[in-house]
Amino acid sequence: EPEVTQTPSHQVTQMGQEVILRCVPISNHLYFYWYRQILGQKVEFLVSFYNNEISEKSEIFDDQFSVERPDGSNFTLKIRSTKLEDSAMYFCASSEARQAIQYFGPGTRLTVL
């Protein structure tokens, strides 16, 4: 069964460094998302992406964040200058249509020291 994959599974970085989290959505899906989950808290929406542009973003998704679909398969989340509070699990998701099931990847645990 097709699934969303994410790399790396765990990323440790120093405060102020840039990180890129990678996702490979399910191949026939058109809508892509990033969510994050701070330890012990709820899953929070960051950004949605469709037709090569951001369709919606939350207040969390400020100027330090960016997303890109550099080729036909990858979907990336870049955090330019990481802060301690960026430490969280970051989940990528994809869906084949609007209002359809969103399939989540296994997540990348980001630890900012």
Binding site for other proteins (CB under 8 A): 31, 33, 35, 41-45, 48, 50, 55-56, 58, 89, 91, 93, 98-107, 109
Q: Which is nearer to other proteins, 1 or 71 (CB)?
A: 1
Measured CA to CA, the distance from residue 25 to residue 4 in angstroms comes to 5
Q: Which amino acid is at 75?
A: F
Angle at 26 between CA 17 and CA 89, to 5 degrees: 35
In angstroms, what is the minimal distance from the CB of 69 to other proteins? 16
Q: Which is nearer to other proteins, 17 or 55 (CB)?
A: 55
In angstroms, what is the minimal distance from the CB of 23 to other proteins? 12
Q: Which of 6, 1, 3 is nearest to 91 (CA)?
A: 6
